[in-house]
Chains A and B, each alone.
Chain A
């Protein structure tokens, strides 16, 4: 397994896709803060050239980060079914299970590096260019990230399970949307009518990422993981989702064998 992972690392280092994806996200963070700074600089009444606003975009934009887990999984998988290079690994004595776990772990590793770089750029450029709000926005953003990391892992896991079971990256992309959005959205809507579905939807990862509530006392909006109960639930939902998907993946791959 180590040799397989080393070879994949070699390939990923030479893959344009990973650099383009992470590079684009980094450029986006810089562009965002530069724009805020520019607007704040030219308009005294512009209230959003602050670290509070900039970092809150991360806190409230976790669904966008979730989509990126699909993109990075696809980029790192490298169209192996399309190019049939997957069959070479099999011919050289690697089982599908080994390939699955190797790629999964490597994607998590590269994603972690990407996340650090992108979030680091957001925070760094924000602190450099924007007015420091000093209302705990940095802690809030980092706490949000910590809470959502298991959900991101769940997103990557879902992508890989679907790629391996459907043997097609394209089909997996559609199925991924189906699993994480196509299933959760109807449950959320039906949850308005049926109590048990409402309870279920509170554990669905995509719903959690978009669960924003208005605090009627303070008048400010907060994400679900900004409460103690919500923080625990967010982490647990990610962990449980990952475990369920891994079990489905392992059983599915064994059945294929």
Chain B
């Protein structure tokens, strides 16, 4: 069954003078997906989200947002969207309740009770009369989430939504987002540095590095690719790798940017690999089985990219 496309970008590029913040991004997000945007600082994640939210304008390329691809259309589409980009922005002199009420009126959301419901949803009922300037980082983040969730948007654009939250807050917000996605089909695009947390929620991943989309993969595909591998660190990588190919006829390996060697595929006799180093007077620094999770996969992706840059 063909899924409805909520966001589609084509060669989306943003540059500031000679600096390219995002280059030729082709991303597709379908209805009901939770898209995890992963990348280092400066990879282009926030730039991408800001373009969706209308804070900045693309230098080139185009995008479709909730079926709209004109400036006028984006304004209509954004009324069906909730967003937190970078730190939540509110009026410091107004309380949590007043700030939400301000935005409730602005967004034309009927019913004053929506504000109380939103505050309860994000766990801020007791702090509703606290002025924004007096709130902790975690409270501010919850209020930002509340603002994004208010009015039951079809699409949520969240930039580091669990930043500053305590562990129980992270679990609460995760459960809330999952509930919204599963019960109401809300589509989400979430950028986060906390990869372990993202892996609990995302159904799709987009990996960004140095302004480019390096890979897009579904959670299922990632799971399939998750496998045990043998990580070896030696004092003489070149010699060891040469011996791996010649003595053990092993070609299913990767040399990572950090100098470690990953032996992939089925590994029958672990001791042969350690013996290979020892018997040829190569120092063995690390030897152990590891599992590919999101963090490892991300490092692998970025590592590959770094290697490719180095090879040029």
Contact = CB atoms under 8 A, between A and B. Distances in A.
Nearest to A15: B93
A83 B92 contact: yes
A11 B91 contact: yes
Interface in A186-239: none
Contact of A10 (B89, B90, B105, B107): B105
B94 A7 contact: no
Interface in B31-75: 53-55, 57, 71, 74-75
A88 interface: yes
B103 A7 contact: yes
A89 B44 CA distance: 23
A14 B101 CA distance: 12
B299 to A, nearest CB: 32
B76 interface: yes
B79 A92 contact: yes
Interface string B212-248: 0000000000000000000000000000000000000
Given A10-B101, A14-B94, A89 B106 contact: yes
B223 to A, nearest CB: 33
Contacts of B147: 88
A83 B54 contact: no
Contacts of B91: 11, 78, 83, 85
Chain B CB within 10 Å — which of A6, A15, A92 has the most?
A92
A91 interface: yes
Given A3-B105, A91-B55, 8 more contacts: A3-B107, A16-B93, A90-B55, A91-B54, A91-B78, A92-B79, A93-B81, A95-B75
Nearest to B144: A88
Contacts of A6: 105-106
B286 interface: no
Contact of A84 (B79, B89, B94, B98): B89
A70 B94 CA distance: 23
25 contacts: A7-B102, A7-B105, A7-B106, A11-B94, A14-B98, A16-B93, A83-B92, A84-B86, A84-B87, A85-B90, A85-B91, A87-B89, A88-B89, A90-B54, A90-B78, A91-B53, A91-B78, A92-B78, A92-B103, A92-B106, A93-B74, A93-B75, A94-B106, A95-B75, A257-B71
Helix, strand, loop or mixed for chain A's interface?
Answer: helix
B83 interface: yes
Contacts of A16: 93
Nearest to A87: B55
A19 interface: no
Interface of B: 53-55, 57, 71, 74-79, 81, 83, 85-87, 89-94, 98, 101-103, 105-108, 147, 157
A93 B78 contact: yes
Contacts of B54: 90-91, 93
Interface in A70-112: 78, 83-85, 87-95
A78 B90 CA distance: 11
A83 B78 contact: no
Contact of A83 (B79, B81, B89): B89
A174 B74 CA distance: 35
B77 A93 contact: yes
A3 B107 CA distance: 7
Nearest to A96: B54
A44 B101 CA distance: 58
Contact of B106 (A4, A83, A87): A4
Contacts of A78: 91
Nearest to A3: B108
Nearest to B75: A93
B55 to A, nearest CB: 5
Contacts of A14: 93-94, 98
Nearest to A256: B57
Contacts of A3: 105-108
B61 to A, nearest CB: 17
A93 B76 contact: yes
A257 B79 CA distance: 19
Contacts of A88: 89, 103, 147
A6 B157 CA distance: 26
Chain A CB within 10 Å — which of B57, B92, B105 has the most?
B105
Nearest to A90: B54
A22 to B, nearest CB: 17
Contacts of A7: 102-103, 105-106
Nearest to A86: B89
Contacts of B89: 83-85, 87-88
Interface string A5-40: 011001100111000000000000000000000000
Nearest to B55: A87
B221 to A, nearest CB: 31
Contacts of A85: 89-91
A80 to B, nearest CB: 9
A257 B57 CA distance: 7
Contacts of A257: 57, 71
Nearest to A102: B106
Contacts of B83: 91
